Amino acid sequence: MSNFWNLIFYKASSNLMAESKKTYLSFLWWFFEPMLLMVIYYLVFGLILSVETEDFVSYLLIGLVVWQWLFRTVTNSANSITDAGSIIGKVSINKVFFPAVTVLTDAAKSLFVFLVLFLYLFIVGYEITSAYWVLPLLFASELLLVIAISLWAALIVPFLPDVKILINSVLMAMMFASGIFYSTDLIPPSIENYFYLNPMAYLIQCYRDVLLEGNVPDLVYLSKMTFVFIILILGALAFAKRFNNSYFKVVLR
């Protein structure tokens, strides 16, 4: 088992190094990509649609950074097993390996972007508060959510390729239902509980509470959500173990 995880770490680090050497700006693209998206969304929602939220740039940037971690990893993981057909045909390996490498690779990129986000918030005047101790809990919770969705996406797509299209549609709906581009104060109290059933909506709000307001979010609700993520991961691992030998025929058909 230790060799399995060592191989995942080695492959992920190799992917990061190889990717950084493909462009002149190297690692800086991990920062510029979300920044370009932020500029586009700011022009649309901040200027054209005139969304009235205090310090909208920081508000938007936090939402996008948190969201892009999930979106990038899930979309990259969905085809990770299918794209590894040549390897699967030659080597017997637990198929969880392929999405796990993607998750680790994108987690490293996202950590870099988060560090840049913290630097930006410090520069524009936000101070480090006592609520910052919650950030590792938020990182861990989101990582578990990312792992859960990425595993299920990667494990199901080889059997049902059309699910990839459904995943993209669900992620798009999830993005607009997560309060990234608008203040959650606009959510009617009557549906607020339903709104926060979307785990990304709650996680994004938690990050904003800590980074912008210096407040500690509801950790009881966060722990309940995290428990659900763990159950989903365990279910995905059980599914992978049950059908591990079936991927050879499915991927190479």
DSSP 158-204: TT-TTHHHHHHHHHHHHHHTTTSSS-GGGS-GGGHHHHTTSHHHHHH
Q: What are phi and psi of 183, to 5 degrees?
A: -70, 135
Residue 4 predicted with pLDDT over 70: yes
Check whether 228 has a pLDDT greater than 90: yes
Closest CA to 11 of 115, 100, 137, 93: 100
pLDDT of residue 142: 98
**Average pLDDT over the chain, rounded to whole?**
87
Tell me how far CA of residue 250 lies from CA of 18, 50, 89, 242, in angstroms: 29, 49, 11, 14
Taking only the tens place, the pLDDT of each residue in 140-195 is 999 999 999 999 999 999 999 989 999 999 999 999 999 888 888 888 888 988 99
Confidence band for 26, pLDDT divided at 50, 70 and 90: low
CB within 8 Å of 131: residues ≥ 6 apart = 209, 210, 213, 214, 215, 216
Asked if the model's pLDDT at residue 103 lies above 70, the reply is: yes
Residue 199: pLDDT band by 50, 70, 90 thresholds? very high
Task: Give CA–CA dist 11/98, Å, rounded.
Answer: 10
- In this predicted model, what pLDDT tens digit does every residue of 60-71 receive, in sequence order? 889 989 999 999
Q: How far apart are the first and last CA of the chain?
A: 29
- Which pLDDT value is given to residue 171? 94
Ramachandran region, residue 55 (left: φ > 0; alpha: ψ -120 to 50; beta: rest): left
Q: What is the pTM of this model?
A: 0.90
Contact 215, 209 (CB under 8 A): yes
Higher-confidence position of 170 and 10: 170
Percent of the chain with pLDDT over 70: 86
Band the pLDDT of 39: cuts 50, 70, 90. Answer: confident
Give the DSSP H/E element, type plus range, for residue 155: helix 135-156
How far is Cα 190 from Cα 80, in angstroms, rounded to an integer?
Answer: 40
Q: Which of 21-35, 71-85, 196-210, 218-232 has the lowest mean pLDDT?
A: 21-35
127 pLDDT above the threshold of 60: yes
Write the Ramachandran bin of 214: left for phi over 0, alpha for psi from -120 to 50, otherwise beta.
Answer: left
Residue indicated by tokens 């990425």? 150
Q: Reduce the DSSP state of residue 95 to 3 states and report it.
A: coil
Look up residue 241 and give its two tokens: 């173990």
The mean pLDDT of 131-145, rounded to a whole number, is 97
- Asked if pLDDT for residue 24 goes beyond 60, the answer is no
- Residue 133 has a pLDDT of 96
Give the integer Cα–Cα distance in Å for 158 and 88.
12
Segment 2-24 mean pLDDT: 77
In this model, does residue 28 exceed pLDDT 90? Answer: no
The number of folded domains in the chain is 1
Domain membership of residue 89 as a residue range? 2-251
Give the per-residue pLDDT at 42: 66
The answer to whether 19 touches 33, Cβ cutoff 8 Å, is no
Assess whether pLDDT exceeds 90 at residue 250: no
Q: Above 60 in pLDDT, residue 25?
A: no
What the block records as the tokens of 28 is 């800086």
CA dihedral 185, 67, 71, 221 (to 10 degrees): -70
